[in-house]
Every structure is written in structure tokens, then in C-alpha cells.
Amino acid sequence: MVNALENQRLNTVLDVKVQLTVRLGSCQLAMRDVLELNPGAIIQLNQRANAAVGLYVNDKLIALGEVVVVEESFGIKVTQLVGEATS
């Protein structure tokens, strides 16, 4: 009985939409510099090109991964779940 109730509760939230975000890096700019941005401007991020990117669900980091190109779109290959022991 308890197991069926737990499954019913889980099924209730399985279709809830969440926001997935991949964070490539960040930087700090003075507002003066932000206002001077133009199309084609390049902003240097504080992350190396080969570093893992963060996968966030509703602003909570859940995994790390690598950026991949799938046909003409970007994707992410999950390499580690947060909290998972590293080898």
C-alpha cells in the first residue's frame, strides 16, 4: 500500500517542467563596459575551453559535462553527477 502511494506521488511530479541551464562560464564587467557592447563583441569568460560546464536545474547545480555539437545544435554530454564520488 505504501509503495503504491509513493509511486502515485512520484508520478504527480514527473511531468512538472523545470528550467535546465548550461553554464559555460562567467565574468565581471563594469556597467560602462556592458553598455558599450555591440554585436560581434567578444567577452572573455573565466573558464578554460576544455573545462567542464555546469548543468543546472532551477539554478541548482546537478551535473558537470562537456559541450558537444549534434548536427547544427549544441548539446551537453553529462560526465559527472554532483555528489557522485570521483575516481
Has residue 5 been placed in a domain? no
Q: CB 63: neighbour CB atoms within 10 A? A: 19
Q: Write down the pLDDT at residue 78.
A: 97
CB 36, CB 50: distance < 8 Å: no
Q: How many domains does the chain have?
A: 1
Residues composing the chain: 87
**CA separation for the pair 10, 5 (Å, rounded):** 9
**Residue the block writes with cell 560546464:** 53
Has residue 70 been placed in a domain? yes
> What are 12-41's pLDDT values in tens digits?
888 899 999 999 999 999 999 999 999 999
> What are 34-60's pLDDT values in tens digits?
999 999 999 999 988 889 999 999 999
Regarding predicted confidence, which is higher, 9 or 72?
A: 72
pTM: 0.72
Instruction: Report the CATH number at residue 49.
Output: 2.30.330.10
Q: Which residues span the domain enclosing 67? A: 14-81
